[in-house]
Amino acid sequence: MPMLDQPLHDLEAWVLFFSKAEIPILRQTARRLEEARQNIDRVSGRDIAAIVLQDPLLAIRVLAYIQPFRGKHLRSDITTIANAVMMLGIEPFFAHFEAPVTIEATLKSEPQALLGVLQVIRRVQRASSYAHDWAFERHDMNIEEVALAALLHDLAEILLWCFAPRLAIEIRDRHLADTTLRSAAAQQQVLGFPLFDLQRALCTAWHLPELLSTLMDDANAFQPRVRNVILAVNLARHTSSDWSDAALPDDLSAIEKLLHIKRETLLSRLNVPEEIVARFMVQDSGSPQENPSNDELAS
């Protein structure tokens, strides 16, 4: 699999590069798929969807693959993995996604990058779980759409770790070296554009459903469903190492407002460690931000 050590000359070149590349998936996902394939007579579409929804890279592969079929057979977009698997059929699904390349094999000679991408994937898995739970609490009309948008929110960052690991490490190191430097600014310095621009371009090139693109776009934070996604992504990012991030009080206040619940109830649902619950109970973070920007979310 080709690796990039230097930035490509423009955004279009990056989109073309990723569109031609075979996107790897988690080794654990590959194992689970093989186990499911061995028991194909007892596996349902729901079982397959549950596997896919733990892996952002397999999820994007499934969505991108199904879009041309959608145009031939359906008038509406396919916005969930469950519907995509149903559209494909179980046997065709396994036939197409047989023997996938894994992230671990791809980055075996890049241990720093492997650790970096696995950290990001764990973060988006947590964001997706938060988004799912809050969408259920809000009686959202389609919970999987919201959870899937959170899972894919940082897709471009994951792809960069997989295919241009040294550039991803440089972006990370610049951000760590200067705490006042926004992640989006570090991305601009290294790549020539923020990763959100690449993600938006990939959504267009891969004909992803407009609804999912909308849910992943922080500019639409005025919509409750998008706010659900943004706050889940924020919380997962700000608690990726511990519960000491200075942004957490504002996160919690905004989540309370979204779900219409009290701080004590929220902390309990989030399983916040008992020894730090008191800190969040006494802090007054003021009014939550209604429309966090892309740059704020990338911090």
How much is the pLDDT for 263? Answer: 95
Task: Please state the domain extents for the chain.
Answer: 25-100, 105-297
How much is the pLDDT for 75? Answer: 59
How much is the pLDDT for 243? Answer: 93
What class does CATH assign to 105-297?
mainly alpha
Nearest to 73 by CA among 90, 89, 50: 89
* Count of C-beta atoms within a 10 Å radius of residue 111: 10
How much is the pLDDT for 293? Answer: 44
How much is the pLDDT for 81? Answer: 95
How much is the pLDDT for 283? Answer: 54
How much is the pLDDT for 291? Answer: 46
Cα dihedral 221, 63, 78, 135 in deg (nearest 10): -40
How much is the pLDDT for 100? Answer: 93
* Count of C-beta atoms within a 10 Å radius of residue 55: 25
CA separation for the pair 93, 88 (Å, rounded): 6
How much is the pLDDT for 295? Answer: 46
Q: What is the 3-state secondary structure (H, E, C) of 215-244?
A: HCCHHHCCCHHHHHHHHHHHHHHHCCCCCC
CA separation for the pair 224, 222 (Å, rounded): 6
How much is the pLDDT for 286? Answer: 45
How much is the pLDDT for 181? Answer: 86
- Grouped pLDDT means (10 residues each) for the chain, 299 residues: 89 96 97 96 95 97 86 70 92 93 96 97 98 97 96 97 97 90 92 95 93 93 96 96 92 97 95 89 51 44
Check: CB of residue 221 under 8 Å from CB of residue 292: yes
Nearest to 297 by CA among 251, 263, 255, 259: 251
pTM of structure:
0.90
